Amino acid sequence: MAIKDSPARKAFLTTNMTLLIILSLIMLLPFIHVIAQSFSSSSAIDRGEVILWPVQATLDNYQYVFQDNTIWRAFSVTIFITIVGTLFNLFATASLAYPLSRQEFVGRKFLLFMVLFTMIFSAPLIPTYLLVQKLGLLNSVWSLIIPSAISAFNFFVMRSFFLQIPTELIDSARIDGCGEMRILFQIVLPLSKPALATLGIFYAVFHWNTYFNALMYIEDRKLYPLQVKLREMIVDDTLVADPTSDLFSTMLSSSPEGIKMATIIVATVPILLVYPFLQRYFIKGFMLGGIKD
């Protein structure tokens, strides 16, 4: 049945659309400003002429970023953490969510309560640090992956999705002789692509933006992820000039703002490019996760 567009409904839709456009601009304009500065000359940035469009357009800022080996090293560390960490997170989360979604699992309610407890009361900083130290993970990239193996929130999302898989399907697989691991990897997970894609985005963004854990657990500068390197450049003004390049030395001595903005774009765009490929699974995962029998 068609919904009648009454004056009140039209006013609501107009107001809602206006507010959404304003909110979108509030979030988008700062990003556009950063892009404009990344393509602008140092002198134009210093004079405050750059707003939403590059002034004295140049690629020198990106040339500096791409020739800085420390940025590429941090970039490679972040890529490793994001890919390996996301796969490990999904495997660990699914391995815990599947048995706790089955009614026949003994002790299911107690374990669910323990997971919920960690969601409400997070572990204190010092005991967490001591645990990572005792496990021998300090100053290792694994300290950014293993301690955050399972997110309680993501666990409950995946368990909610597993609960929607018909019990008859799993029972028939058991009758055919399938073990639990085979049921999980050949039946449950292939049917759970929307949930895996949704949680994969959550985990990937978390690892890509890893910052605080790296400050706590990593001392070797060669193992710094991209966000820590970015923090050094923006907060500490730690920029390294190429001694063989007069151009880059001049840029650093005059105004490093364009280089900082270019680094922000390089650190942001890759994770943004992942979303369009997973968008349909992302939306479907949230829709199915909210359906209850």
> How far is CA 71 from its chain centroid?
19
- 137 is a domain residue: yes
How far apart CA 110 and CA 202 sit, in angstroms, is 26
- 116 is a domain residue: yes
Domain range for 120 is 73-239
- 244 is a domain residue: no
Q: How does pLDDT run across 253-278, given as a tens digit for each residue?
A: 445 778 888 888 888 888 888 777 76
- 54 is a domain residue: no
83: pLDDT confidence band, cut at 50, 70 and 90?
very high
Whether pLDDT at 246 is above 50: no
The CATH number given to whatever domain includes residue 168 is 1.10.3720.10
Average pLDDT over residues 56-76: 84
- 146 is a domain residue: yes
- 200 is a domain residue: yes
- 28 is a domain residue: no
Domain count, the chain: 1
How far apart CA 290 and CA 16 sit, in angstroms, is 24
How far apart CA 199 and CA 126 sit, in angstroms, is 28
Q: How does pLDDT run across 10-57, given as a tens digit for each residue?
A: 888 889 999 999 999 898 898 899 899 888 887 788 788 888 888 888
- Percentages helix, strand, coil for the chain (3-state, rounded to 5) are 70, 0, 30
- 56 is a domain residue: no
